[in-house]
């Protein structure tokens, strides 16, 4: 069981996460959902509202757009994200598909920069996916030491997001070895049904900082386009990002 030094902060985060799921709710609904007293939920909501992170309307609450400001500033404060923006846009223009920069955080692949909107794809800017279930996540994980990979597997248990997700530790280790050799990762509906992606790691002096990916539906990600055309473009733009980071 995780120990939280400040339990009130954890409760506020639970309230935020619940609002994220339901979009809008009243005190009673949230209290029942979180198994907390109405007075406790009300106090957390009022506090969140007073600091600008929640908005109330007729007794119902939703998350405030201050989160957008915080998130954008958190992202833009990273050199990698700032450097990669132009390359992500260029990759999206060349492929006419969603392109994204993914950075690892808390053992998840976070889609930190994205271009083209993805044509209704379930993956979007800000999506967080376990590293083992998506091409950019595997591109990052493949550069880790065997002990780090073992720790990841033991901690997360390789949960299945779809029927195609790799859930075998041996199979994942074998795939990561191949990714490390060729510098490219693929996923074929492992994170989202019907969605495929191609990714290449982005390395810096400190190690693998993230991955560049192109994402799209299976009907457009197959054959020579999936195996040769898209990988070539992804590698080119990933190399350009690495070069810019080194300057």
| CATH number reported for the structural domain that contains residue 187 in this entry | 3.30.450.40
Which residues, 6+ apart, have CB-to-CB distance to 70 below 8 Å?
none
d(CA 21, CA 18): 5
SS3 annotation, the chain = CCCCCCHHHHHHHHHHHHHHHHCCEEHHHHHHHHCCCHHHHHHHHHHHHHCCCEEEECCEEEECCHHHHHHHHHHHCCHHHHHHHHHHHHHHHHHCCEEEEEEEECCEEEEEEEECHHHHCCCCCCCEEEHHHCHHHHHHHCCCCHHHHHHHHHHHCCCCCCCCCCCCHHHHHHHHHHHHHHCCEEEECCCCCCEEEEEEEEEECCEEEEEEEEEEECCCCCHHHHHHHHHHHHHHHHHHHHHHHHC
pLDDT by residue (tens digit) across 154-194?
998 899 999 999 999 999 999 999 999 999 999 999 999 99
Q: What is the largest CA-CA distance in the chain?
A: 60
- Is residue 216 predicted with pLDDT exceeding 60? yes
pLDDT by residue (tens digit) across 21-61?
999 999 999 999 999 999 999 999 999 999 999 999 999 99
pLDDT at 188: 96
118, 143, 217 from 201: Cα distances, Å: 21, 8, 21
User: Looking at the structure, do residues 81 and 34 belong to the same domain, yes or no?
Assistant: no
User: Looking at the structure, do residues 175 and 232 belong to the same domain, yes or no?
Assistant: yes
Q: How confident is the model at residue 4 (pLDDT cuts 50, 70, 90)?
A: confident
pLDDT at 117: 59
Q: Is residue 1 part of a domain?
A: no
Average pLDDT, stretch 190-212? 94
Give the number of residues written for the chain.
Answer: 247
pLDDT at 34: 96
- Is residue 205 predicted with pLDDT exceeding 90? no
Q: Name the residue with higher pLDDT: 204 or 24.
A: 24
Which residues, 6+ apart, have CB-to-CB distance to 179 below 8 Å?
138, 139, 142, 185
Overall number of domains in the chain: 2
Triad 166, 170, 175: Cα angle to 5° = 60
User: Looking at the structure, do residues 222 and 105 belong to the same domain, yes or no?
Assistant: yes
Provide the residue range defining the domain that includes 100: 70-246
User: Looking at the structure, do residues 237 and 163 belong to the same domain, yes or no?
Assistant: yes
pLDDT at 190: 97
pLDDT at 200: 98
pLDDT by residue (tens digit) across 229-244?
999 999 999 999 999 9
pLDDT by residue (tens digit) across 75-127?
999 999 999 999 999 999 999 999 999 999 999 999 999 998 557 789 999 99
pLDDT at 247: 80
User: Looking at the structure, do residues 79 and 158 belong to the same domain, yes or no?
Assistant: yes
Other beta carbons less than 10 A from residue 229's beta carbon: 14
pLDDT at 47: 97
Bridge partners (DSSP) of residue 200 are 212
- Is residue 1 predicted with pLDDT exceeding 60? no
Other beta carbons less than 10 A from residue 26's beta carbon: 16
Q: Is residue 159 part of a domain?
A: yes
The gap from C-alpha 107 to its chain's centroid, in whole angstroms, comes to: 10
User: Looking at the structure, do residues 13 and 94 belong to the same domain, yes or no?
Assistant: no
């Amino acid at each position: 069981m995780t120990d939280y030094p400040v339990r009130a902060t954890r409760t506020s985060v639970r309230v935020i996460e619940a609002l994220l799921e339901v979009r809008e709710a009243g005190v009673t609904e949230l209290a029942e959902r979180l198994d907390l007293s109405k007075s406790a939920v009300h106090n957390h909501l009022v506090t969140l509202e007073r600091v600008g992170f929640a908005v109330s309307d007729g007794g119902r609450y939703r998350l405030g757009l201050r989160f957008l400001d915080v998130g954008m500033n958190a992202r833009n404060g990273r050199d990698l994200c700032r450097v990669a923006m132009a390359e992500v846009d260029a990759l999206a223009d060349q492929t006419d598909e969603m392109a994204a920069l993914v950075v690892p955080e808390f053992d998840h692949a976070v889609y930190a920069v994205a271009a083209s909107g993805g044509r209704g794809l379930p993956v979007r800017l800000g999506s967080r996916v376990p590293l083992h279930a998506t091409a950019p996540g595997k591109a990052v994980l493949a550069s880790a030491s065997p002990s780090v990979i073992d720790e990841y597997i033991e901690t997360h248990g390789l949960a299945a997001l779809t029927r195609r997700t790799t859930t075998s530790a041996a199979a994942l280790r074998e795939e990561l070895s191949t990714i490390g050799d060729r510098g490219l990762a693929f996923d074929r509906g492992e994170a989202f049904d019907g969605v495929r992606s191609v990714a290449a790691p982005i390395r810096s002096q400190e190690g693998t900082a993230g991955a560049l990916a192109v994402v799209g539906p299976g009907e457009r990600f197959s054959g020579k386009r999936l195996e040769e055309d898209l990988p070539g473009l992804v590698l080119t733009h990933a190399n350009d990002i690495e070069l810019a980071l080194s300057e």
